[in-house]
Structure 1
Amino acid sequence: MAALKGVKTLDMVGGEITKVSYEGAEYERVVGDAKIGDIIRLTEEARHDVTPGGFYTVRGVRGARVQITDDVNEPHHWDEDYYDLFRKKHRRLKVGDYAKVVEGSDLDEADAGDIVKIIHDDYDRVPFKCDVIKGRRDADYIWAEESDLVLATEAEVAEAKAPKFSVGDYAKVVGDTYHSDIVEGAIVKITDLADGEGDLRFELVGDDDYDYAKPSSLEKVSAEEAKWAKIGRKVDEYKVGDIVAYDDPQWFENKGIGEVTEATDEDNYAGVVATDNGGRRVKYYLLPEKLTLITPVEVRFDRS
């Protein structure tokens, strides 16, 4: 894991950083042995696969020696001469907070890493009633002590609230992708479930291009949206020259085939010329539910 991004300096004394914020939590500079979950700021003298002056999460501790994951995703150990130590400032969790079940919790109803939302606090020995957002008891609730939980990060909450996908589902890209080849707004099809990094593999609808992304970067869409996306359109977006089947007994008094002569307007109507039951060529403005796209104008053989 590379140096942490988004760490903001909140306070300095004598040119030394004493307080920072990261993912919504405040961290204060402390003296003493590190703990797993603390963050360190490496000195400018730190080298070899790290960012001098960068912040890193403590992954392991042996006395004053800490382990981090460096910029090439390898474990790296540092003595206290090469870092300043910062620890998350404690605050009591409150109703509305999202929290994570900690390692070593005595909860029978939840596992370490489960994400919950605190919905009630009665200030008793087991004060927090929590909705389970992601975990063994999804959509259920549990009661937890303060020592069972820590404040969840924004990334953890986003991942927990991300939609659950299956192979064959369609989605819209709404965030970052691994290769950045497929842009936001594109419609894709899920082709493989989460890998070791938690990324889904997907292909661009109507193309062979593929990429990977976290579920939080995708938004489920319907098969209907995907079908229209294959021709580069929104659902029920008709263009001049499209051939459509119409079903409007109120006006045409029959079913048949017509041609769009005015594209879908801001009121969601399309102008269609078709033959009524008397053989007359008539133009009417119809809502999309009266139409079925037969041939998009882009692929009509009678058009150059």
Structure 2
Amino acid sequence: MAKLSGVKIVDMTAGEVTKVAYEGAEYERAEHPIKKDDLILNVDDHEIDLTIGAFYKVISVDNFNEVQFLDDEDDGRDRHEDDIDFVPFRKVSAQDPTLEARVGKLESDVATLKGEQGPTLKFKAGDKVRGKPNGEKLTLKERMPQYDGIHGLAWNTEEYSSDKWVGENQVELIEEKPLAVGDYAKVVPHNNDIGFGGSPGDIVIIRDKRVDRYRTKELSGGNYHGNPWVKTEGLVRATDEEVAEAKAAHFEVGDYAKVVGRTYLGDIKTGAVVKITEDADEDGDYEIELLDGSDHDYAQVTSLEKVDADKAAIIDKWAKIGRGVNEYKEGDIVTLPGPFVLCSAGEVDSVGEVLVVRRFDGGFDTMHASKATLIAPVESRVDRN
């Protein structure tokens, strides 16, 4: 929880707060070290998003004696358990809470009934969820509002001990509908005792199904030729975002790509446009071929950038002279619509996609680069030195 509201002073001595009430419980001033569930009073920490004189709730204390709590913007903060800028207040075990404590609890309950402290829940008790990104499967048990903050609203789970929790932003709902052939799935940690060739995090498509396992094909490179079968508990349904990301990084035979990194043999250079001629092998290498079929090579997905089929030829034409599409230079020879078709491009100026060109009759025209057709790049003109 961030900076606390509703903390009421119960006792003071010589101007120093010694006891407070919060949410129906009393807290007494305590000695360091600070402990889990203490309220801490900021007396001298002037960092941004921390308020002098405000109370904060300690979420946990780690094995390195670092205290965790949330600041005014719900961002996590760490302080040493002996930090004198914060004074700890520890809950008092009492049979009969004071009037101030009872009033504080009543005010908290009223605020909840009014909806002032009733946040909208993404999930409900009993929901099956999986962790992001490790895929751990959990069953939500009960709310733990004292830990709300950095990771969203907090829940305890049936699989966790009573003092461990997950935030709603850390998990996603698991659909109960079983996976079927043609569905996309994500590999999650599981007992890999059948030699499955994949790894947690891989996005796959289901190709076949048996009683306790699925045959898979990976989308992000490689087909698990060794063993594509995975047990049912090793897969969860992939989200649309996960599938889209995997497809963007995956090529099918017949796709076109631009080489943007090194290739296996080094025969095809950066900038060349190629066609995918074979699926990725077990090492993730795709077989690639120049558009005219004059050479082939192999490349990882990270060395390839997808190109639309209808744009491959034009990109390849420009790439062969070391330029991007419609990248004109001063002195290029181009054709234009109209009676004066030959001109020198860019000898006067070039602004964005608009070319300023000089006709051979001495006049000038302006036009968009997309309307021009390159006849001869300046580098190949024999009439210039």
**Per the shorter chain, which TM-score range?**
0.3 to 0.5
Higher Rg: 2
Q: Which has the higher contact order (CA 8 A, sep 6+)?
A: 1
TM-score by length of 2: 0.36
